[in-house]
Amino acid sequence: MIKNIKILVILTVILTSCSNIADSQVVKTIDNQLFVNKSPYFIKGICYHPVPVGSNQRSFSNLTNDLALMVEAGINTIRVYEPIDNIEVLDEINNAGIKVIIGFGYNQNGNFDILSGSFINYIEKYKNHKAILFWELGNEYNYHPEWFENDINNWYTALNNAADSIHKIDENHPVATAHGELPNAQSLSMCKNIDIWGMNVYRWDNPTSLFEEWEKVSKKPMYLSEAGADSYMTISKDGFEQGDNQVAQAIATKNILESVFNAKEKTLGVTLFSFTDGWWKAGENDIQNPGGWAPNSSGVPYDGTPNEEYWGIVDMTRNKKKAFDIVKQMYTNNKTN
């Protein structure tokens, strides 16, 4: 009898830990809309790369608190720049009612990357997990032809082939890429296997023109894989004072999100950049510094300078910035799903 009880307990633990994998979901795009199990899904997201003070490596040690803040803000999707190879982390994200866009890099020393082909191993392992919204290949690689023998077409070829490989083993999740700004005709023609085009776009505080331009070049669905503003003004401009300026960030965030929701028939949504500040980006890892660099950054509101360590809607100790309240207001008031 005791032996049978022990077996029952073990089986219960195994089934519980695997429940999020067993109950996989089907994610599809139909007529420029995203569906999860046939229900419309609009991305009200945030980019998430939590690096603790003093480090340059991602850590999920503060995940529970972060998820609580995200739920409060109405965030339903997080976008990560590298795979999460931890089922407990994915389970906790799923249990919070949030989905994940999993990003893969090209050359990550064989760690689930495209160059080695090991990204397929990750997809095989997690393709049935309920937290997965879709897969995403690369992040603004079109700005870096030097990574591809100075021929960006090498990247587009690898991108298209990688998407094809995913389609062969996973029919239940779309494949996206995160492109820097609007892709040109050549990149679109070379990447026919891409289902969703994410675009990192910084056009001051109004990306509306992008949606109109996209309709002219493609019928495929798109979303803003990055958009937003930092909370530091390098110079005084447009009535915003130099220095730490949460008001400037909040106003820009409000205007950007209004543009997205006004165009909800033309886009799948947005993953705002970013959830937390990143002290590792511009210099010393244990001090917050102005500076940092990003390509195509002249459109960053409101000073044209991307101070890379000030992009969070919360700071490193998870104090809410003024932009957090804007995100909460916009995401909770817009009932899109």
Write down the pLDDT at residue 14.
41
Contact 162, 114 (CB under 8 A): yes
> Omega into 274 within 30° of 0, i.e. cis?
yes
Rounded distance between C-alpha atoms, residue 9 and residue 146, angstroms: 55
Rounded distance between C-alpha atoms, residue 135 and residue 113, angstroms: 12
pTM above 0.85, yes or no: yes
**How does pLDDT run along the chain (337 residues), one tens digit per residue?**
444 444 443 444 344 444 445 467 999 999 999 999 999 999 999 999 999 999 999 999 999 999 999 999 999 999 999 999 999 999 999 999 999 999 999 999 999 999 999 999 999 999 999 999 999 999 999 999 999 999 999 999 999 999 999 999 999 999 999 999 999 999 999 999 999 999 999 999 999 999 999 999 999 999 999 999 999 999 999 899 999 999 999 999 999 999 999 999 999 999 999 999 999 998 899 999 998 766 656 899 999 999 999 999 999 999 999 999 999 999 999 877 6
Write down the pLDDT at residue 116.
98
**Which own/partner pairs from 51-56 qualify as long-range (CB within 8 Å, at least 24 positions apart)?**
51/278, 51/279, 51/280, 52/316, 53/279, 53/285, 53/286, 53/316, 54/285, 54/286, 55/280, 55/285, 56/280, 56/285
Rounded distance between C-alpha atoms, residue 112 and residue 109, angstroms: 8
Write down the pLDDT at residue 259.
98
Secondary structure, 3-state, the chain: CHHHHHHHHHHHHHHHHCHHHHCCCCEEEECCEEEECCEECCEEEEECCCCCCCCCCCCCCCHHHHHHHHHHHCCCEEEECCCCCCHHHHHHHHHCCCEEEEEECCCCCCCCCCCCCCHHHHHHHHCCCCCEEEEEEEECHHHCHHHHCCCHHHHHHHHHHHHHHHHHHCCCCCEEEEEECCCCHHHHHHCCCCCEEEEECCCCCCCHHHHHHHHHHCCCCEEEEECCCCCEECCCECCECCEECHHHHHHHHHHHHHHHHHCCCCCCEEEECCCECCCCCCCCCCCCCCCCCCCCCCCCCCCCCCCCCCCCCECCCCCECHHHHHHHHHHHHCCCC
CA-to-CA separations, 85 to 76, 176, 304, in angstroms, rounded: 20, 20, 36
Rounded distance between C-alpha atoms, residue 17 and residue 91, angstroms: 8
List the domains of the chain with CATH numbers.
41-333 (3.20.20.80)
